[in-house]
Amino acid sequence: MHLNIAILEGDGIGPEVVAQSIKCLRSVEETFGHSFTFKKGLIGASAIKKTGNPLPKETLDLCKKTDATLFGALGLPEFDDNPKAKVWPEQGLLRLRKELGLFANIRPVKVFPSLVKQSPLPKANVQNTDLVIFRELSGGIYYGDKSISEDQSSATDTCTYTEAEISRITHLAFKSARSRKKKVTLVDKANVLETSRLWRRVVRSISESYPDVELDCLFIDNAAVQMILNPSQFDVILTDNMFGDILSDQGSVIAGSIGLLPSASVGLEHAMFEPIHGSYPDAKGKNIANPVASILSMAMLLQHFKMNEESDAVVAAVLKSFSKKIVTPDILGSSKYGTNYVGDFIADNIMELDGAFTMNDENIGLGKSTII
């Protein structure tokens, strides 16, 4: 198979972690006989500095023409700390998601047995955690009308959802649950928000078409507590844009490092794959950033195109790096290995599986249950 892949390195450590994913894709090429063509585009702070636009037209056109997009990270403190800025990096990512029609963000959260000690939470709480968050990506408060008064003393962000927006991601979540543990948990704030009440009505109605899948509903505050106390109770979490953003970052604490968690953003025609972590500008150029989340996002890309064996081979190489303690300092504080060495090790160990390795040992959840 041949794929054309847009590479959006972004800001901070983005270029460093994406470079490791490209190494691994080159290894997949060599091992499995595929070919990948990469073309880079600007986005975020780097794009603002060069063009004044966080999403140049050339980048958007590139992403629309290629088969998939591999994304790095976004943001810099000089924009985060300037509330008066008229343009900021995140505008580019939000517009890209909208323009590509990416409505579902899929974020697996898995505590690897070999890394369970790295979680700050008690082992008994987290050791069987294997869940996936389906976050609605194209609606809600992030995309609603925004205004600020002339005297800058009050501001408004509007949260809007339609039945159609809720319905399409709900069906994806229930289909995923059917091939997992057959449970969907809707997270909302239906005791306060009208949009959440709409979510609950639509999801409950759709759930009747999936009688084999259990539906549970939790308010966001309770869900946040339950994810810490007993994350293994969850299978598929379904939620809106903002709540999904918050819960998936919380999931990184359960796993032990935000540098471990991948994600896929999918629509009807396009797909983008990115680690959930930010740009970590303090680590830029220091060769300490964890590349695993980016590499596992790349594995999700392979799975999206039905390259299941290839995806499993990438995950197996990642798991081997864990077992050999070839990890970055965020995983093991005494580690002497940097971003490039970890990336090289994983790339060098991508090989055809002979059946000795099974995903049941440390299943990351990158199988058919995750990507629809």
Neighbours of 369 (CB within 10 A): 20
pLDDT of residue 368: 42
pLDDT of residue 55: 97
Q: Phi first, then psi: give them for residue 106, nearest 5 degrees.
A: -115, 120
Query: Of all residues in the chain, what percent are helix, strand and coil, respectively (each to 5)?
Result: 45, 20, 40
pTM, rounded to two decimals: 0.89
Average pLDDT rounded to a whole number, residues 80-102? 89
Catalytic site residues? 142, 189, 221, 245, 249
38: closest CA among 13, 71, 16? 71
187: closest CA among 139, 233, 224? 224
How far is residue 224's CA from residue 246's CA, in Å, rounded to a whole number? 9
Q: Phi first, then psi: give them for residue 371, nearest 5 degrees.
A: -95, 125
Helix, strand or coil for residue 331?
Answer: coil
Given a cut of 80, is residue 39 above it in pLDDT? Answer: yes
Question: Confidence class of residue 272 from pLDDT cuts 50, 70 and 90?
Answer: very high
Average pLDDT rounded to a whole number, residues 307-319? 96
Contacts for 326 with CB less than 8 Å, ≥ 6 apart: 320, 337, 341, 342, 345
CA atoms within 13 A on the CB side of 65: 12
Average pLDDT rounded to a whole number, residues 347-353? 89
**Distance (Å) of CA 26 to CA 38, 160, 251:** 11, 43, 30
Helix, strand or coil for residue 363?
Answer: coil
Q: Any idea how long the chain is?
A: 372
Question: Confidence class of residue 366 from pLDDT cuts 50, 70 and 90?
Answer: low
Encode pLDDT of 138-183 as tens digits: 999 999 999 999 998 999 999 999 999 999 999 999 999 999 999 9
Q: What angle do CA 213, 217, 218 make, to 5 degrees?
A: 140
Contacts for 172 with CB less than 8 Å, ≥ 6 apart: 104, 106, 134, 372
Cα–chain center distance at 64: 20
Q: Domains in the chain, start-ordered, CATH in brackets?
A: 1-107+261-371 (3.40.718.10), 116-256 (3.40.718.10)
Give the pair of three-digit tokens for residue 54.
Answer: 């966080």
How far is residue 261's CA from residue 295's CA, in Å, rounded to a whole number? 10
Report the percentage of the chain scoring pLDDT > 70: 95
How far is residue 289's CA from residue 7's CA, in Å, rounded to a whole number? 18
The pairing of strands 236-239 and 130-136 is parallel
How far is residue 365's CA from residue 315's CA, in Å, rounded to a whole number? 10
Give the pair of three-digit tokens for residue 295.
Answer: 């590499």
Helix (H), strand (E) at residue 226: helix 220-229
